[in-house]
Amino acid sequence: MNELALLNPFAFGFMQRALVAGLVVGVFAPMIGTFLVQKRLSLIGDGIGHVAFAGVGAGLLLHVSPIWAALVFAVVGALGVDWLRARRRASGDVALALLFYSGIALGVVLISLGGGLNANILVYLFGQPLTVTRSEIVTIFVLGAAITVTMWALRRVLFSVVTDDDWSRVAGLPVDALNALLAVMTAVAVVAAMRIVGILLVAALMVLPVASAQLLARSFRGTLIVSVGVGVGSVVAGLVAAWEWDLAPSGAMVLAAAAVFALVTVGKRAAPRTLRQEEHA
């Protein structure tokens, strides 16, 4: 190994795999997050993550792939939340909290039945892109591509539904079906990103890049594109920082996204008055 390789974090196979998987997550997580933020469901990804954890537990117990088991649990949980929300059966956040905490409690119980809590679980809770395998990259890529293509193809109608639910219904758009689709796509996104950023941090990559983008962009389309840019940038910056300072990569990625938001907020405030006036002219 030469010195140049040590200076370039992506000269190593495991870093290249982490980068590829991270870039895919950096694209689809903010993309779906833009619709969730507009729908004021910023924390839904966090909640679905809790349910996915029960799937991880079931997978470990039954010796099936934890990712696919988590996908089944997350999709069922997401549809359940959407059903409760649509029928206003959820009184405040209580019914949702019940579902989410039941999910994580079920996960803990299933994992203890399957041999107890160990380091493997930490990979799913906090993510670990540096140990991602080729087959996991393929899974993440296939799921991520499905989300990205679906979101982009249906962006206009999803925009209408998340922006004005009542009007979209009168206009004859299939609001319930599209809300259910968005719930399923969110579940798929949570599971696809789980191995990289972890169940506890996945919602951050869905929401934080969007929080920055909505300050920078002047349209929904612009917000979608800028948030993906921030997401991808945060993943790369997080991996480089993790390499440079020996940090947990998933946490570094999320902190990078939070730092972008802080910089954008400060930058907006410090922007010359004339620029701001032009914006509102």
Partner 1 sequence: MGAPEPLRSEPSDDAGYLLEAEGVCFAYGRDPVLTDVSLRVSPGEFVALVGPNGSGKTTLLRILLGSLVPDEGRVRILGADPARFDERWRLGYVPQRPSLASEVPATVEEIVTSGRLSRRGWWRALRPDDRAAVRHAITSVDLGELSGRPVNTLSGGQQQRAFIARAFASEPDLLVLDEPVAGIDAGSQRRFSDSLTHLIREHHAGVLLVSHELSAVAGAVDRVIVLKGRVLFDGPPAELTREGVSLGIHREDLPLWLEGLR
The CB-of-219 to partner 1 minimum distance in angstroms stands at: 5
Piece in contact with partner 1 (CB under 8 A), picked from 12-20, 160-168, 194-202, 229-237: 160-168
The CB-of-157 to partner 1 minimum distance in angstroms stands at: 4
Of 61-120, binders to partner 1 (CB under 8 A) are: none
The CB-of-101 to partner 1 minimum distance in angstroms stands at: 26
Q: Are 47 and 81 in contact (CB under 8 A)?
A: yes
Return the DSSP state at 114. Answer: T
Residue closer to partner 1 by CB (options 128, 223) is 223
Write out the H or E segment, with its range, that includes residue 157: helix 155-163
Q: How far apart are CA 233 and CA 26, in angstroms?
A: 8
Candidates 79, 105, 173, 240; binder of partner 1 (CB under 8 A) is: 173
Residues counted in the chain: 281
Q: Are 256 and 241 in contact (CB under 8 A)?
A: yes
The CB-of-170 to partner 1 minimum distance in angstroms stands at: 5
Q: Binding string, 183-212, against partner 1, x = CB under 8 A?
A: ---------------------------x--
Q: Binding string, 9-48, against partner 1, x = CB under 8 A?
A: -------------------------x--xxxx--------
Torsion sign (Cα): 257, 258, 264, 267: negative
Residue closer to partner 1 by CB (options 214, 250) is 214
Residue listed under structure tokens 């998340």: 162
Q: How far apart are CA 236 and CA 239, in angstroms?
A: 5
Task: Enter the tokens of residue 26.
Answer: 């950096």
163 vs 35, 91, 104, 199, CA distance in Å?
Answer: 9, 23, 31, 27
Residue closer to partner 1 by CB (options 14, 167) is 167
Piece in contact with partner 1 (CB under 8 A), picked from 97-105, 158-166, 180-188, 237-245: 158-166
The CB-of-178 to partner 1 minimum distance in angstroms stands at: 8
The CB-of-238 to partner 1 minimum distance in angstroms stands at: 24
Give 186-204 as a DSSP string. HHHHHHHHHHHH-TTTHHH
Q: How far apart are CA 26 and CA 229, in angstroms?
A: 8
Contacts with partner 1 by CB under 8 A lie at 34, 37-40, 154, 156-157, 159-160, 162-174, 210, 214, 217-223, 280
